[in-house]
Structure 1
Amino acid sequence: MNTVGIKDVALRAGVSMATVSNVLNRPDKVAPGTRERVEEAIDVLGYVPNMVAQQLTGSRSSGMVGLVLFDVRNPFLSDIARGAEDLLHTAGQPVMLCNTDVLPEKEERYLKLLAQQNAAGALVTPADLSKGWLDGLRARGLRVVLLDNTDAHPEVCSVAVDDVAGADAAVTHLLARGHQRIAFVTGPMHMRQSRDRLAGSRRALERAGRPADALNVVETSAFTVDQGRRAGERLLTVSERASGVFCANDLLALGVMQTAFRAELRVPDDLAIVGYDDIHSAATAGVPLTSVHVGGYELGKAAAELLLDEDRPGHTHRRLVFPPRLIERRSS
């Protein structure tokens, strides 16, 4: 049986082999009419790209993009993934979803794999962002767009939400409702999301004339409902229980709410709760959850656009920061 090669596709479509390669690897660089002729030739001939050969020649495989996220079960991150995937699909670039569990060694394995596969790039929620980490990616030739609110690395594109402002709005809301004892429940403090949302919470307290250390901070090991339940149990055992709780994401908030219900507390009369991310289930919780809306779908789409833009002449690295907004519901 004769093997169909890229030369056969080029002859049938009446184009050069370089044009066929561009259709396979960088379809956005090819005029729509030409791309359609090449794709038709591929379908008629049954051509299957040789990925090993592509890697040996240094081309970017099939234009694959890695989505390297710290917890793919998190609905907010799922929204980011969907926004990115929808846009990349229209550009003809497949997506590889990678879950790191905030483990640097697991993240490292995925990024190494993407580099070995000559991926077009990666959208990453970094486990531990540093200059050395970025230098390592560049040494591998892997382009990235960070899903991280940092202004310390202008040499790379990034997309994020202003978490300091979002947390400020959440705690300001609780203060306006008359809450004097406020707790902040968050995931691992080494993550930027936790640090920024803590900073915003303290900023709101200071502006209200309250000492920043008046905030009762409860750190958990993950941004999950189970960890929220455990945090809720800790909050209910202290002698001076908080009357208002701001959680660094909605999953934690829903877990705290479940614990409150089990303790026969009324939400918000006995315990007001505010979350962050405004995931779909926030509005349908037992008591609809007040939350800071951040638009994960739009975030993922913008990150994918920045990655695709790196192939275009005159590209400059940009940092896009989306403004959050508080969505008030019955929980507070």
Structure 2
Amino acid sequence: MSQEDGAAKAANIFDVARLAGVSHQTVSRVINDLPNVRPTTRTRVEQAIAQLRYSPSPAARALVTRRTRTIGLITPGVSDYGPTSIAMHFNFAARAARYSVDTVSALEADPAGIRSAVEALLRQRVDAIVLVVVDVAVLEAVRALDLSVPLVAAASTARRNPHIVSIDQYRGARSAVRHLCELGHTRILHIAGPRTASDSVERVRGWRDELGSRRLEIVDQQHGDWSAASGYRIGMDLDIEPGTALFVGNDHMSIGVMSALRERGIRVPEDVSIVGFDDVPEAGYLYPPLTTVRQDFASLGALIMQKVLIAVEEPESATEDTPLPTHLVLRQSTRPAAG
């Protein structure tokens, strides 16, 4: 090994700064692909890095930038389609931005459980914390903590906040109910998710407002737990009258409802139309294929990561975002009302 090779391997960020004629902070900004570096300066730094064959370790990078390029992710202790899809697509977006993700599942929504999850991540010196909210109490519990790092939450809420991102559950629900109304259905029941689930709260609000705007009867909704089993139990006791249609809070509960109705000899869509929510991969292969509201979890994951980068690098530029739109997917579980 030559002396030149040994020197190159021993090079540090300060050697790069001297060779490029810039500060070590500027080298750090180039290494971490941060903004506000002139193109000519960036080129000089990159050439110095190449000449010295400098490759910063994660530890060295953290020492200079005081960042670890690690994000803490708190997910609910459930395997429901929505939260797991959000977590998956956020991980994809973080990886594309060259960040790693440490995940902690909060099994309980109580403040002590949330505090424990946050403290576990802070011990890992994460640069920010991302929270996937299922229960509205979780968001309030985290907000009550004095955090030393930025917090970005994926939460369905009517309140806007620069650090909250969401998919528009409210308008998605209204589009589902509007579709059933336009088919001539006059009695639209809602099988909702858990009472404390933020997605469920917004979908109930959309269902009520759409029916109210059309002066149609609002029958008290029934609540499941997002599972097919809960949809089945509710479906076995539903009072199906002529003109009835169902807006179900998610696709898995829709699967259970359809199974129960089939056992009762009630045909879908001949006797009752059904619209679900989520567009799970199985939705198009049910019998009949399920009309549902699609959520764009890939775009939500990318938006969460964008919010994290802004919160970490340029917090003063954080702005509120409009919730991401949903898309109604028409299939064969809905049809015009009889007569």
TM-score under structure 1 length normalisation: 0.78
Is the 8 Å Cα contact of residues 115 and 142 (structure 2) preserved in structure 1? no
1:68 equivalent to 2:78? Answer no
Evaluate the alpha carbon distance shift between residue 234 and residue 112 of structure 1 in structure 2; reply closer, same or farther with a 3 A threshold: farther
**Paired residue for 1:108, among 111, 115, 139?**
115
Aligned residue in 2 for 1:147: 154
1:158 equivalent to 2:159? Answer no
**Displacement after TM superposition at 1:224 (Å):** 2.2
Evaluate the alpha carbon distance shift between residue 258 and residue 69 of structure 1 in structure 2; reply closer, same or farther with a 3 A threshold: farther
Which structure 2 residues correspond to residues 213-224 of structure 1 after superposition, within 5 A? 215-220=219-224, 222-224=225-227
Q: Distance in 2 between matches of 1:94 and 1:178?
A: 51
Q: Distance in 1 between matches of 2:294 and 2:159?
A: 25
The AA in structure 1 aligned to 2:149 is L
Q: Distance in 1 between matches of 2:117 and 2:243?
A: 41
Aligned residue in 2 for 1:4: none
Aligned residue in 1 for 2:326: 324
**Paired residue for 1:225, among 221, 224, 228?**
228
Tell me the percent identity. Answer: 23
Is the 8 Å Cα contact of residues 176 and 275 (structure 2) preserved in structure 1? yes
Is the 8 Å Cα contact of residues 289 and 330 (structure 1) preserved in structure 2? yes
Count of matched residue positions in the alignment of Structure 1 and Structure 2: 311
1:49 equivalent to 2:59? Answer yes
**Displacement after TM superposition at 1:305 (Å):** 0.6
Q: Where does the alignment leave 5 or more consecutive residues of structure 1 unmatched?
A: 1-6
Give secondary structure in 2 for the equivalent of 1:203. helix
Q: Distance in 2 between matches of 1:178 and 1:227?
A: 28
Q: Which moved more, 1:223-232 or 1:68-77?
A: 68-77
Larger Rg: 2
TM-score under structure 2 length normalisation: 0.76
Q: Where does the alignment leave 5 or more consecutive residues of structure 2 unmatched?
A: 1-8, 18-22, 335-339
Is the 8 Å Cα contact of residues 66 and 97 (structure 1) preserved in structure 2? yes
**Displacement after TM superposition at 1:217 (Å):** 0.9
Evaluate the alpha carbon distance shift between residue 146 and residue 135 of structure 1 in structure 2; reply closer, same or farther with a 3 A threshold: closer
Evaluate the alpha carbon distance shift between residue 286 and residue 110 of structure 1 in structure 2; reply closer, same or farther with a 3 A threshold: farther
Is the 8 Å Cα contact of residues 147 and 159 (structure 1) preserved in structure 2? yes
Is the 8 Å Cα contact of residues 276 and 291 (structure 1) preserved in structure 2? yes
